[in-house]
Amino acid sequence: MKERLTRLKVIRKLIKTYRVESQEALLGYLQKEGFVVTQATLSRDLKLLKVGKISDGHNGYVYTLPGDDERQESEQAVAQDFLRGCISIEYSGNIVVIKTCSGHTDVVACALESLAIDEILGTIAGRDNCVFVCLREGVSGKDFLNILKMKIPELDE
């Protein structure tokens, strides 16, 4: 968990420092920094950081990070998606059950993933109105709810 946060910071630094054109190039920079990750892991990290590609003005493209305003807008949109779909949150141990409006399970699960809560081990979106969240060992449902409220202050229990 801690390694992931450190790796995300390093990825941000590398994209700001170097002209990174591909995941292969970024993997090389990460290896020089001491991180050994798979392409799939790097791809998930780039999605989490909302990294995009822009034209370099010649014949190629380079990775870019969203600006602070853009990131803040994106986080607010994710929070609104979660709030629109969520009906209730209950937990037992490290298992959380989020009841959703009919048809909103995918939106709520995607919002949780976009919020990048490291305490989440994984989510399963049910077919219609229930999202299951499995938390890492030692993280309680109450801990999760407190973290979620920090990320989405408008959340009512």
CA neighbor of 118 nearest in space, from 20, 5, 41, 14? 5
pLDDT of residue 43 exceeding 80, the answer is yes
Q: How far apart are CA 100 and CA 131, in angstroms?
A: 7
**pTM beyond cutoff 0.85:** no
Confidence of residue 125 (pLDDT cuts 50, 70, 90): very high
Do the beta carbons of residue 118 and residue 5 sit within 8 Å? yes
For 97, list phi and psi in degrees, rounded to 5.
-115, 120
Strand partners, 53: 63
Question: What number of helices (H) and strands (E) belong to the chain?
Answer: 6, 6
pLDDT of the residue at 50: 84
Question: Which domains can be identified in the chain, with CATH numbers?
Answer: 2-64 (1.10.10.10), 69-151 (3.30.1360.40)
pLDDT in tens, 131-140: 999 999 999 9
The mean pLDDT value for 91-97 works out to 95
Residue 30, exposed/middle/buried by CB under 10 A (0-12, 13-18, 19+)?
Answer: buried
